[in-house]
A and B are shown apart, each in its own frame.
Chain A
């Protein structure tokens, strides 16, 4: 334990370990702060060079929908920021196939290229992570 790491134990050989982080997004982009908060955490954490994946399921698939017009609800349309993720070396974006289909959407309706995964494979993806953060 050392003071310089704020009391967090950090052995020298541990600091270079790359962990698998998964950010799970389940909520519609507006109405709650979850989607924007998740995106901000992802952008900030990108500085740590970890193995990052994002998944979108349930109403979370709307976060990536094209044509978000937010002027009338007086909030910022932050959907263009998902296109900046590539520049942050975050390139693993997964969308649950069933969630997308249930909402009448296809991959063409999304603002970024994604990998579609059926629910069963989504479970496997989650199972293989070191850290799962749910929003």
Chain B
């Protein structure tokens, strides 16, 4: 599978996750979100950028429980809870946000 953004074609896996993490850019994230009928707000970007930093540091996409806890630690309890994250990313915060962040699908419990 692939996705076309600004005339450029990017390879993805069968679920739409970017094949090469280094291909990522913000327009690509917006286009992926558009396909899901989702428009990215600052709150979405906060989570997406957090995931990219997490991946840079640990070389994995976190499980949803770990993501929720880590977001709480960094952005406060208002944001570090399932309700908030699922409202932003109804397909599952780890799964959907990782996709827009250009990361592989998280290992294990998403």
Contacts and interface: CB of A to CB of B under 8 A. Distances in A.
Interface in B17-75: 57-60, 62-63, 65-66, 69-70
B6 to A, nearest CB: 29
Contacts, number: 39
B3 to A, nearest CB: 23
Q: How large is the interface on A (under 10, 10 to 19, 20 to 34, 35 or more residues)?
A: 10 to 19
A80 B59 contact: yes
Contacts of B57: 80, 83-84
A71 interface: no
Interface in A69-99: 76-78, 80-81, 83-84, 87-88
B109 A84 contact: no
A109 interface: no
Interface of B: 57-60, 62-63, 65-66, 69-70, 107-109
Contacts of B109: 44, 47
15 contacts: A43-B108, A44-B108, A46-B63, A78-B59, A78-B60, A80-B57, A80-B58, A81-B58, A81-B59, A83-B58, A84-B58, A84-B62, A84-B66, A87-B62, A88-B63
